[in-house]
Amino acid sequence: MKPLDKILITGCGGQVGFELTRSLALLGEVVAIGLADVDLTNAQAIVAKLNDVKPTIIVNPAAYTAVDKAESDSATAYAINATAPEVMAQWAAQNGALLIQYSTDYVFDGTKEGMYTEQDTPNPMSVYGASKWQGEQLVAANCAAHVILRTSWVFGAHGANFLKTILRLAGERDTLNIVNDQIGAPTSAAMLADVTAHVIMRIRMSADADKAALYGTYHLTADGATSWHGYAQYVLGLGEQAGMTFKTSAAKIGGIPTTAYPTPAVRPLNSRISCDKLKRTFGLSLPTWQTSVAQAFRLVAGK
Protein backbone atom coordinates (compact mmCIF):
# COMPACT_ATOMS: atom_id res chain seq x y z
CA MET A 1 0.00 0.00 0.00
CA LYS A 2 1.35 3.42 -0.98
CA PRO A 3 2.25 5.54 2.09
CA LEU A 4 0.31 8.74 2.71
CA ASP A 5 1.80 11.93 1.36
CA LYS A 6 3.29 14.43 3.74
CA ILE A 7 2.03 17.83 2.63
CA LEU A 8 3.78 21.05 3.66
CA ILE A 9 1.53 24.13 3.41
CA THR A 10 3.09 27.58 3.81
CA GLY A 11 1.27 30.75 4.76
CA CYS A 12 -1.25 28.94 6.94
CA GLY A 13 -2.39 32.22 8.47
CA GLY A 14 -3.47 33.63 5.11
CA GLN A 15 -6.79 33.22 3.35
CA VAL A 16 -5.68 30.47 0.95
CA GLY A 17 -3.35 28.74 3.39
CA PHE A 18 -6.14 28.54 5.97
CA GLU A 19 -8.48 26.85 3.48
CA LEU A 20 -5.76 24.53 2.16
CA THR A 21 -5.19 23.19 5.66
CA ARG A 22 -8.81 22.06 5.55
CA SER A 23 -9.03 20.80 1.96
CA LEU A 24 -5.78 18.82 1.92
CA ALA A 25 -6.26 17.10 5.26
CA LEU A 26 -7.86 14.08 3.55
CA LEU A 27 -4.95 13.64 1.14
CA GLY A 28 -2.21 12.98 3.63
CA GLU A 29 -0.40 14.26 6.69
CA VAL A 30 -0.55 18.05 6.63
CA VAL A 31 2.14 20.23 8.16
CA ALA A 32 0.96 23.86 8.04
CA ILE A 33 3.50 26.60 8.74
CA GLY A 34 3.25 30.37 9.04
CA LEU A 35 5.37 33.43 9.74
CA ALA A 36 6.38 32.20 13.17
CA ASP A 37 7.67 28.90 11.81
CA VAL A 38 10.06 29.95 9.07
CA ASP A 39 11.49 33.19 7.68
CA LEU A 40 10.76 33.07 3.95
CA THR A 41 13.39 35.72 3.28
CA ASN A 42 16.02 33.30 4.58
CA ALA A 43 16.90 30.56 2.08
CA GLN A 44 18.83 28.52 4.66
CA ALA A 45 15.85 28.58 7.02
CA ILE A 46 13.56 27.36 4.24
CA VAL A 47 15.88 24.46 3.40
CA ALA A 48 16.22 23.56 7.08
CA LYS A 49 12.43 23.42 7.46
CA LEU A 50 12.06 21.31 4.30
CA ASN A 51 14.76 18.92 5.50
CA ASP A 52 13.00 18.65 8.84
CA VAL A 53 9.49 18.03 7.45
CA LYS A 54 10.55 16.03 4.37
CA PRO A 55 7.32 16.68 2.43
CA THR A 56 6.34 14.76 -0.66
CA ILE A 57 4.13 17.70 -1.67
CA ILE A 58 4.90 21.39 -1.11
CA VAL A 59 1.97 23.80 -1.43
CA ASN A 60 3.10 27.43 -1.36
CA PRO A 61 0.40 30.10 -1.11
CA ALA A 62 2.65 32.29 1.06
CA ALA A 63 3.41 35.59 -0.65
CA TYR A 64 4.27 39.22 -0.11
CA THR A 65 0.90 40.68 -1.10
CA ALA A 66 1.17 44.28 0.12
CA VAL A 67 0.97 45.53 -3.46
CA ASP A 68 1.62 49.21 -2.81
CA LYS A 69 4.21 48.67 -0.08
CA ALA A 70 6.17 46.41 -2.44
CA GLU A 71 7.01 49.46 -4.58
CA SER A 72 9.27 50.74 -1.78
CA ASP A 73 10.17 47.33 -0.32
CA SER A 74 11.14 45.42 -3.43
CA ALA A 75 13.92 43.43 -1.76
CA THR A 76 11.48 41.73 0.61
CA ALA A 77 8.89 41.24 -2.13
CA TYR A 78 11.40 39.49 -4.40
CA ALA A 79 12.80 37.42 -1.52
CA ILE A 80 9.38 36.02 -0.62
CA ASN A 81 7.73 35.93 -4.06
CA ALA A 82 10.69 34.82 -6.19
CA THR A 83 13.65 33.49 -4.21
CA ALA A 84 11.62 31.46 -1.69
CA PRO A 85 9.72 29.59 -4.45
CA GLU A 86 13.04 29.00 -6.21
CA VAL A 87 14.48 27.42 -3.07
CA MET A 88 11.39 25.25 -2.67
CA ALA A 89 11.54 24.22 -6.33
CA GLN A 90 15.20 23.22 -6.07
CA TRP A 91 14.51 21.16 -2.95
CA ALA A 92 11.44 19.56 -4.54
CA ALA A 93 13.43 18.55 -7.62
CA GLN A 94 16.24 17.09 -5.54
CA ASN A 95 13.85 15.15 -3.31
CA GLY A 96 11.18 14.02 -5.76
CA ALA A 97 8.42 16.25 -4.35
CA LEU A 98 5.53 17.91 -6.15
CA LEU A 99 5.35 21.72 -5.88
CA ILE A 100 2.13 23.72 -6.10
CA GLN A 101 2.79 27.46 -6.48
CA TYR A 102 0.23 30.30 -6.66
CA SER A 103 0.53 33.38 -8.80
CA THR A 104 -1.55 36.36 -9.86
CA ASP A 105 -3.28 38.32 -12.59
CA TYR A 106 -0.75 41.09 -11.81
CA VAL A 107 1.79 39.31 -14.03
CA PHE A 108 -0.16 40.86 -16.94
CA ASP A 109 -0.31 44.56 -17.80
CA GLY A 110 -4.09 44.54 -18.21
CA THR A 111 -4.12 46.16 -21.65
CA LYS A 112 -5.47 43.16 -23.59
CA GLU A 113 -9.09 43.50 -24.68
CA GLY A 114 -10.01 39.84 -24.32
CA MET A 115 -9.27 37.24 -21.67
CA TYR A 116 -5.66 36.38 -20.94
CA THR A 117 -4.59 32.79 -21.57
CA GLU A 118 -1.55 30.88 -20.38
CA GLN A 119 0.02 31.50 -23.80
CA ASP A 120 0.02 35.30 -23.34
CA THR A 121 3.38 36.78 -22.40
CA PRO A 122 3.36 38.41 -18.96
CA ASN A 123 4.25 42.09 -18.70
CA PRO A 124 3.91 43.09 -15.04
CA MET A 125 3.53 46.78 -14.23
CA SER A 126 4.32 46.62 -10.52
CA VAL A 127 7.00 45.22 -8.21
CA TYR A 128 4.45 42.77 -6.83
CA GLY A 129 3.56 41.51 -10.31
CA ALA A 130 7.19 41.37 -11.42
CA SER A 131 8.25 39.45 -8.31
CA LYS A 132 5.46 36.91 -8.77
CA TRP A 133 6.33 36.50 -12.46
CA GLN A 134 9.98 35.91 -11.57
CA GLY A 135 8.83 33.34 -9.02
CA GLU A 136 6.86 31.53 -11.71
CA GLN A 137 9.89 31.38 -13.99
CA LEU A 138 12.19 30.13 -11.24
CA VAL A 139 9.75 27.40 -10.23
CA ALA A 140 9.37 26.21 -13.82
CA ALA A 141 13.13 26.29 -14.42
CA ASN A 142 14.05 24.36 -11.29
CA CYS A 143 11.31 21.76 -10.80
CA ALA A 144 9.61 19.79 -13.57
CA ALA A 145 6.98 18.42 -11.17
CA HIS A 146 5.18 21.70 -10.56
CA VAL A 147 1.78 23.28 -10.98
CA ILE A 148 1.43 27.08 -11.00
CA LEU A 149 -2.08 28.39 -10.37
CA ARG A 150 -2.67 32.02 -11.35
CA THR A 151 -5.66 33.60 -9.66
CA SER A 152 -7.19 37.00 -8.89
CA TRP A 153 -9.19 39.06 -6.40
CA VAL A 154 -9.05 36.44 -3.64
CA PHE A 155 -11.48 36.60 -0.71
CA GLY A 156 -12.65 34.28 2.01
CA ALA A 157 -14.43 33.97 5.32
CA HIS A 158 -11.02 33.98 7.03
CA GLY A 159 -8.71 37.00 6.94
CA ALA A 160 -9.01 40.55 5.64
CA ASN A 161 -10.43 41.19 2.17
CA PHE A 162 -12.61 43.44 0.02
CA LEU A 163 -15.89 41.72 0.94
CA LYS A 164 -15.39 42.37 4.65
CA THR A 165 -14.08 45.89 4.04
CA ILE A 166 -17.15 46.90 2.03
CA LEU A 167 -19.55 45.61 4.70
CA ARG A 168 -17.63 47.56 7.35
CA LEU A 169 -17.37 50.79 5.36
CA ALA A 170 -21.05 50.72 4.39
CA GLY A 171 -21.88 50.66 8.09
CA GLU A 172 -19.59 53.61 8.79
CA ARG A 173 -19.96 55.98 5.83
CA ASP A 174 -22.84 57.79 4.17
CA THR A 175 -21.13 57.63 0.75
CA LEU A 176 -18.85 55.12 -0.95
CA ASN A 177 -16.96 55.58 -4.22
CA ILE A 178 -15.42 52.46 -5.74
CA VAL A 179 -13.23 52.00 -8.82
CA ASN A 180 -15.34 50.88 -11.80
CA ASP A 181 -12.81 50.40 -14.62
CA GLN A 182 -10.78 47.48 -13.26
CA ILE A 183 -12.40 44.19 -14.35
CA GLY A 184 -11.77 40.77 -12.88
CA ALA A 185 -13.25 37.74 -11.13
CA PRO A 186 -13.62 37.71 -7.34
CA THR A 187 -12.32 34.27 -6.39
CA SER A 188 -12.99 32.29 -3.23
CA ALA A 189 -10.05 30.99 -1.20
CA ALA A 190 -12.16 27.94 -0.38
CA MET A 191 -12.69 27.20 -4.06
CA LEU A 192 -8.96 27.63 -4.75
CA ALA A 193 -8.20 25.14 -2.00
CA ASP A 194 -10.77 22.61 -3.19
CA VAL A 195 -9.50 22.78 -6.78
CA THR A 196 -5.94 22.41 -5.51
CA ALA A 197 -6.96 19.20 -3.75
CA HIS A 198 -8.53 17.91 -6.97
CA VAL A 199 -5.41 18.76 -8.99
CA ILE A 200 -3.15 17.00 -6.51
CA MET A 201 -5.36 13.89 -6.47
CA ARG A 202 -5.37 13.71 -10.26
CA ILE A 203 -1.60 13.97 -10.41
CA ARG A 204 -0.99 11.43 -7.65
CA MET A 205 -3.46 8.95 -9.18
CA SER A 206 -1.98 9.22 -12.69
CA ALA A 207 0.60 6.84 -14.05
CA ASP A 208 4.13 8.24 -13.95
CA ALA A 209 4.19 8.46 -17.74
CA ASP A 210 1.07 10.66 -17.69
CA LYS A 211 2.03 13.08 -14.93
CA ALA A 212 4.15 15.36 -17.13
CA ALA A 213 1.08 16.30 -19.19
CA LEU A 214 -0.56 17.64 -16.03
CA TYR A 215 2.33 19.82 -14.87
CA GLY A 216 2.58 23.47 -15.86
CA THR A 217 0.79 26.80 -15.48
CA TYR A 218 -2.98 27.17 -15.19
CA HIS A 219 -5.41 30.02 -14.64
CA LEU A 220 -7.88 29.52 -11.80
CA THR A 221 -10.60 32.04 -10.99
CA ALA A 222 -14.34 31.97 -10.55
CA ASP A 223 -16.44 32.18 -13.72
CA GLY A 224 -17.61 35.56 -14.96
CA ALA A 225 -16.25 39.04 -14.33
CA THR A 226 -17.18 42.33 -12.71
CA SER A 227 -15.64 45.61 -11.59
CA TRP A 228 -14.75 46.48 -8.01
CA HIS A 229 -17.79 48.76 -8.14
CA GLY A 230 -20.06 45.92 -9.29
CA TYR A 231 -18.53 43.64 -6.67
CA ALA A 232 -19.27 46.18 -3.92
CA GLN A 233 -22.85 46.61 -5.12
CA TYR A 234 -23.39 42.85 -5.11
CA VAL A 235 -22.01 42.47 -1.57
CA LEU A 236 -24.15 45.30 -0.23
CA GLY A 237 -27.16 43.90 -2.05
CA LEU A 238 -26.65 40.59 -0.23
CA GLY A 239 -26.48 42.48 3.04
CA GLU A 240 -29.67 44.38 2.31
CA GLN A 241 -31.49 41.17 1.41
CA ALA A 242 -30.31 39.68 4.70
CA GLY A 243 -31.72 42.61 6.67
CA MET A 244 -28.41 44.24 7.57
CA THR A 245 -28.40 47.98 8.27
CA PHE A 246 -26.02 50.30 6.41
CA LYS A 247 -25.50 54.06 6.22
CA THR A 248 -25.48 53.83 2.42
CA SER A 249 -27.05 51.43 -0.09
CA ALA A 250 -25.97 49.30 -3.02
CA ALA A 251 -27.75 51.64 -5.43
CA LYS A 252 -25.93 54.69 -4.06
CA ILE A 253 -22.37 53.40 -4.34
CA GLY A 254 -20.53 55.75 -6.69
CA GLY A 255 -18.28 54.55 -9.50
CA ILE A 256 -14.92 56.25 -10.10
CA PRO A 257 -12.07 55.65 -12.58
CA THR A 258 -8.71 54.29 -11.46
CA THR A 259 -7.17 57.69 -12.21
CA ALA A 260 -9.31 59.20 -9.43
CA TYR A 261 -7.76 56.86 -6.87
CA PRO A 262 -3.98 56.98 -7.43
CA THR A 263 -1.85 54.29 -5.77
CA PRO A 264 1.91 53.63 -5.69
CA ALA A 265 1.48 50.38 -7.66
CA VAL A 266 -0.18 50.20 -11.08
CA ARG A 267 -3.20 47.88 -11.15
CA PRO A 268 -4.13 45.99 -14.35
CA LEU A 269 -7.41 47.30 -15.74
CA ASN A 270 -8.21 43.95 -17.35
CA SER A 271 -7.69 41.02 -14.98
CA ARG A 272 -9.89 38.58 -16.87
CA ILE A 273 -8.01 35.29 -17.26
CA SER A 274 -9.35 32.26 -19.12
CA CYS A 275 -9.58 29.03 -17.13
CA ASP A 276 -10.35 26.84 -20.14
CA LYS A 277 -7.03 24.96 -19.93
CA LEU A 278 -7.63 23.99 -16.30
CA LYS A 279 -11.25 22.97 -16.94
CA ARG A 280 -10.26 20.87 -19.94
CA THR A 281 -7.20 19.20 -18.37
CA PHE A 282 -8.74 18.36 -15.02
CA GLY A 283 -12.39 17.95 -16.04
CA LEU A 284 -13.64 20.77 -13.85
CA SER A 285 -16.48 23.26 -13.90
CA LEU A 286 -16.04 26.38 -11.77
CA PRO A 287 -18.63 28.38 -9.83
CA THR A 288 -19.58 31.92 -10.78
CA TRP A 289 -18.08 34.71 -8.73
CA GLN A 290 -21.58 35.57 -7.49
CA THR A 291 -22.08 32.06 -6.09
CA SER A 292 -18.73 32.13 -4.29
CA VAL A 293 -19.27 35.62 -2.88
CA ALA A 294 -22.73 34.66 -1.61
CA GLN A 295 -21.31 31.60 0.15
CA ALA A 296 -18.58 33.63 1.85
CA PHE A 297 -21.05 36.36 2.75
CA ARG A 298 -23.22 33.87 4.62
CA LEU A 299 -20.21 32.75 6.66
CA VAL A 300 -18.96 36.27 7.33
CA ALA A 301 -22.35 37.77 8.17
CA GLY A 302 -23.80 34.71 9.83
CA LYS A 303 -26.85 34.96 7.59
Residue among 262, 214, 232, 261 nearest 168 (CA): 232
Four-way CATH pick for 5-161+186-224+272-287: 3.30.750.24, 3.40.50.10210, 3.40.50.300, 3.40.50.720:
3.40.50.720
Dihedral, CA atoms, 112, 114, 119, 123, nearest 10 degrees?
20
> Which of 36-40, 90-94, 243-247, 299-303 shows the lowest per-residue confidence on average (mean pLDDT)?
299-303
Q: Which helix (H) or strand (E) holds 44?
A: helix 43-53
Pairing verdict, β 98-104 and 187-188: unpaired
Tell me: the pLDDT tens digits for 61-118?
Answer: 999 999 999 999 999 999 999 999 999 999 999 999 999 999 999 999 999 999 999 9
Distance (Å, whole) CA 246 – CA 219: 36
Residue 303 has pLDDT above 70, yes or no: no
102 a catalytic residue: no
Q: Please compute the mean of the pLDDT values over residues 118-145 and round it to a whole number.
A: 98
For residue 213, what pLDDT is reported? 96
Q: Which of 128, 218, 231, 234 is catalytic?
A: 128
Q: Which helix (H) or strand (E) holds 48?
A: helix 43-53
Residue 4 has pLDDT above 90, yes or no: no
Distance (Å, whole) CA 73 – CA 96: 34
Tell me: the pLDDT tens digits for 187-214?
Answer: 999 999 999 999 999 999 999 999 999 9
Q: Kindly list the domain boundaries of the chain, sorted by start residue.
A: 5-161+186-224+272-287
Residue 1 has pLDDT above 50, yes or no: no
Number of neighbours of residue 294 by Cβ within 10 angstroms: 16
Alpha-carbon distance values, 299 to 194, 195, 200 (Å): 17, 20, 27
DSSP state of 35: T
